[in-house]
A and B are shown apart, each in its own frame.
Chain A
Amino acid sequence: MDLIKRLAKSIREYKKDSILAPIYVSIEVILEVLIPLLMATLIDDGIDVGNMHHIVKIGLILAVSCVFSLAFGVLSGRSAAKASAGFAKNLRRDTFYRVQNYSFSNIDKFSTASIVTRLTTDITNLQNAYQMIIRIAVRGPMMLIFSFAAAIFVNGKLSTIFLVLIPVLALGLYLIMSNAHPIFGRVFKTYDRLNNVVQENLRGMRVVKAFVREDYETKKFTDVSDSIYKDFSKAERLLAFNAPLMQSCMYACILLISWIGARLIVGGSMTTGELMSFITYGMQILMSLMNLSMIFVMVVISRASAERVAELLDEESDIQNGENPIEDVKDGSIVFENVNFGYKRNICLHDVNLSITSGETVGIIGGTGSAKSTLVQLIPRLYDVSEGSVKVGGVDVRDYDLTVLRDSVAMVLQKNELFSGTIKENLRWGNAEASDAEIERVCKLAQADEFVQKMPDKYDTYIEQGGSNVSGGQKQRLCIARALLKKPRILILDDSTSAVDTKTDALIQRAFAEEIPDTTKIIIAQRISSVEHADKIIVMDNGRVDAVGTHETLLDSNEIYKEVYASQVKGVSTNA
């Protein structure tokens, strides 16, 4: 119920259509139910007694009610379409907005693929379910009630047949569905496994072939495929009872009506026309029951989608502005005080104490998994510390307005992303109002201007999704330029020049030193050459600061630094 309430919040301006659609449907149903009644008098008082005048009169009334029923049918169809498409639009919007407010740790919790699926497939499922609920799911019960009422009106005694048949059919359908449903649930899970095998094989085909594991993979696939066959057949064999059950009830209904009806007619308490309309009502009642059971299944299936979407909506961003946030970052100094940090329960930064003055260039070196990236991500408050505090410009980062803080701390992530659009558009992410001259200036700083000028459309060159039409080194330099446009107080490069050659790397470093001397620069690198001229080098090891010093002092005193240096500069190792 909470789930429905949660999602229903997205109906908003489409409430009117959501209410109108079932009303229109109900009117359509009432008119449809009237038609057999009119038909009965057409037959009895018209055809049977040969009264042509009556035939035409009732015929016209019938035609008019058909047209009205059609009109309301069309209206309901349109309202339902409008309401469901609108609901989906709002829901998609609410969810997307929610995700935009996520912090890094929220994003880490869901995989990218799963967020995308929820925003696309799941919401489309919900749209279909919603449309069904406000239209078809209203039509079924309405039809059931009104047809039953009409049947009683025509002949109360005969209607008792339905009182026997409806529970039989309902129970039968319930038994079939409740048995088949869990099996279907299992089948869908197995399908996921099957698709997973195919996907992994497509991606890893080189590995499969290189290890000559074709037969092994085929067996893996066939096993899953066979279990789908078994489960699916089992579930569908249950569903195979559906149509015969329905038919049995329908046929029983016809035979009973015929037997009892014939006696009533002969006895004079019923007419032939009434018999005909009664049979029609019988069909309508049973049909609507059948439809209802199908809708029930569909809605149950869409429940999973609803839960997945609600999960995104309910996720609270764990990083929010404090009260009375500070709107100004004084300078680029950074202080770490007794910082501990862990993703979930795994502590990965231990007791970090650092102090960086504004304008300094700081290099960070350390092995895979030494928590270098984690350390710098605390500065623009992409994550919050578990213990201790991080201060920028002398103020705890948690006291700043988030936008102000992040605009002052520019970060080039390890996993760089460019977006589809021109180079200029991509760069303006840093500053929407940047002039062309300004863009060129930062590109020169990042050593990107030269290759951009060589491109066919220069700064208007279109970047494909994910930046697939520029090389890794070019992408990195564009990302640096984009960050520079923000004119930040602190610039963080997280392994952002790994694909740039050492000479260009050195040029970038020099440009930084000359052009933005007041900006604090933090550079994470694998290459010693990228950091050796820094004012300060931090050596990270297993989530701890192993040493802080200059290139010379570290080379003298730090084992790790020495080893890294040796592995890169000395080159030839002893056991060639």
Chain B
Amino acid sequence: MRNAPPPRHMPRMPGQKMDWKAAKRLLSYITKHYKLRFALVLLCILLSTLAGVAGSLFLQVLIDDYITPLLGNANPQFAGLLRAIGWMAMIYAVGVLSAWMQNRIMVTIAQGVLRDIRNEMFAHMQALPIRYFDTHTHGDTMSRYTNDADALRQMLAQSLPQVFSSAITIVTVFLSMCFTSLPLTALVLVTVSLVLVVTKKVAGNSGKFFAKQQKALGDVNGFIEEMIQGQKVVKVFCHEPEAKAEFDRRNEALCENATKANSFVNILGPINNNLGHLQYVIIAIAGGALAVFTKSISLGKIATFLQLSKSFNMPINQISQQMNSVVMALAGAQRIFELMDEAPEADEGYVTLVNAKEENGVLTESEERTGLWAWKHPHADGTVTYTKLSGDVRFYDVDFGYVPEKTVLHNVTLYAEPGQKVAFVGATGAGKTTITNLINRFYDIADGKVRYDNININKIKKSDLRRSLGIVLQDTNLFTGTVMENIRYGKLDATEEEVYAAARLAGADGFIRHLPQGYDTMLSGDGSGLSQGQRQLLAIARAAVANPPVMILDEATSSIDTRTEAIVQRGMDSLMHGRTVFVIAHRLSTVQNSDVIMVLENGRIIERGTHKALIAEKGKYYQLYTGAFELE
């Protein structure tokens, strides 16, 4: 598998539809654990919004009831005003308290829901079949954990409460405006819709240029990635001037698009702001006209209305901005749910692997580790039989294809007896790795039969089947942690002595001891800092510590020089003495001492036999060996 590039994700553009199904499912996560708290949040939002609106209305009371009547009064009484302010202060206090409670509780809900979704997604991912990972790029899956989860977080923590409070504000402010002055309210409706039309137009333009900017950015980033990857080649060929020129061209295009896209976004603020001011002026003039010509409106009412009209514009803008991120977050949620809805790896196996002891030739189950393993096979009639785990693998007429339309293995029949070393040789794509994918049931066969210790492999529980197999792959994947932890991955309760022994066996002990902190050296970033060969040695040690009865080595020594390989091979041979080993190798010297070599071509076994026999046969293997054919 080629390593996927780091996740890079285009932000979704406006204009997408709201995904109600995802919204409902997301809501179910909130109500599952946080029902009461969520209700409380809604109540708090209502209270704090009402307190804000009450503030705007208070202005009218202040002017009309406590200021205008007292004007010209020689001995004004402020006791009433003080009382009113006291009441207002209490309303405000409730509002502030609600706002704080709302924010605080929402943090718990948002972070909690995110954690639940994240953990569920990862646990589900672990249960997915290998097919899923082979058919989806890592970057794509990764972005569900990063971009999509992040969009979700923003929506839960910010957009959701804001949309609620904006909606409540709009309704209450609108009602208050109607209550204050109907004609002015009609005027506000007209101006607000005009403002909306203008902003929509500008936002649409910015969306268009943003898409272009994103494309240009992808272009520049792609170029940077390719050049930096191949930087050493660039240097060897003195290709720097050409790289710079090409970079400049793409960089210039990006700059141009970025300027346009950002210009539109930047002017959105001033437009909203100043059109808001303009609306304010228009209302003031209209209100003034009403007051002057019809005397139907008081000064306090005009002041209040002006204040209200300001608090009407803001939430409308906010909602239209937030809607975008809500739609984006829901699209992200949908992608996360998609992953969660992928069918997990099916496992109908019921034969399990148990520790066993042998008494008078009869196998019985044992509590402690005996070093002897047996398959526990419960039958329909209630009896249980035990079969010794010995590593006998047989394929009968197996057909297989990764997709139903394309069969890659045809009629494969093979048998590997305990203690045998079986090698597969053939060109890339001949089906060597596919066979090993079937033994550990990363994939299931289409037709035929695979038996393991004479048990149909489908009856064996997958986890137990895999525990009985050791696998070393060409692409060695190590995990962040110490060398010790990485080797111990093969057997979590391995003692230090066991780890050392496995490392010695794999020929890794020597270089590990030369690392700065020996076995405690931290490996990070997939073991970078180690050479490919050293990583392969660690992977072999990791498999060796598990001490499995069957071992599959898929190009496991391809990056190790032949001399070291010979040493490793000697170690492995002694470890696997009496057990089954499958070897896939590109280097023919690696497989020469196998008990049986199978030559694969286009998914069929075309030759089989020992090295000597195959050489004598003068067939394909002979041609490969003498160099008449290329393997890749």
Contact = CB atoms under 8 A, between A and B. Distances in A.
A106 to B, nearest CB: 10
A262 B66 contact: yes
Contact of B273 (A32, A56, A131): A32
A77 B263 contact: yes
Contacts of A360: none
Contacts of A564: 561-563
Given A200-B480, A501-B627, A93 B251 contact: yes
A92 B220 contact: yes
Contacts of B81: 258-259, 262
Given A120-B221, A200-B480, A62 B566 contact: no
28 contacts: A32-B277, A46-B288, A51-B292, A55-B292, A59-B282, A66-B277, A84-B262, A86-B255, A96-B244, A97-B244, A100-B243, A103-B235, A200-B480, A206-B471, A206-B477, A210-B470, A215-B126, A229-B114, A242-B103, A255-B85, A367-B561, A417-B232, A465-B226, A471-B632, A472-B632, A505-B627, A563-B566, A573-B569
Given A89-B254, A111-B528, A262-B67, A209 B130 contact: yes
| Complex A-B, nearest 3 residue pairs according to Cβ-Cβ distance, in ascending order | A73-B270, A77-B266, A502-B627
B480 A196 contact: yes
B371 interface: no
Interface in B217-271: 217, 220-222, 224-226, 228-240, 242-244, 247-248, 251-252, 254-256, 258-263, 265-267, 269-271
Interface string A215-233: 1111001100110110011
Most central of A47, A50, A119, A407 by chain B CB within 10 Å: A47
B489 A213 contact: yes
Nearest to B103: A240
Contacts of A117: 6
B111 A266 contact: no
A401 to B, nearest CB: 10
A73 B299 contact: no
Nearest to B300: A272
Given A499-B632, A573-B570, A194 B145 contact: yes
A572 interface: yes
A199 B138 contact: yes
Contact of A207 (B96, B248, B477, B531): B477
A429 B273 CA distance: 55
Contacts of B263: 77-78, 81-82
A369 B562 contact: no
A571 B629 contact: no
A47 B287 contact: yes
A368 B561 contact: yes
Interface residues of B, number: 168
Given A47-B292, A208-B126, A237-B104, A222 B259 contact: no
A163 interface: no
B471 A236 contact: no
B593 interface: yes
Binding site of A, secondary structure by majority: helix, strand, loop or mixed? helix
A247 B477 contact: no
A59 B560 CA distance: 85
A88 B258 contact: yes
Contact of A47 (B118, B119, B288): B288
A157 to B, nearest CB: 17
Contacts of B288: 42-43, 46-47, 52, 55, 59
A72 B270 CA distance: 8
A112 interface: yes
Interface in A432-472: 432, 465-466, 468, 471-472
Contacts of A202: 4, 133, 138, 141-142
A217 B566 CA distance: 34
A86 B259 contact: yes
Contact of A368 (B220, B284, B489, B534): B534
Nearest to B281: A62
A48 interface: yes
Interface in A45-101: 46-48, 50-52, 55-56, 59, 62-63, 66-67, 69-70, 72-74, 76-78, 80-82, 84-86, 88-89, 92-93, 96-97, 99-101
A198 B142 contact: yes
B168 interface: no
B350 interface: no
Given A206-B477, A251-B92, A258-B81, 12 more contacts: A43-B302, A74-B271, A86-B255, A88-B255, A100-B244, A204-B479, A210-B440, A210-B469, A210-B471, A211-B490, A243-B100, A571-B592
A131 B627 CA distance: 63
A450 to B, nearest CB: 11
Contacts of B303: 43, 272, 276
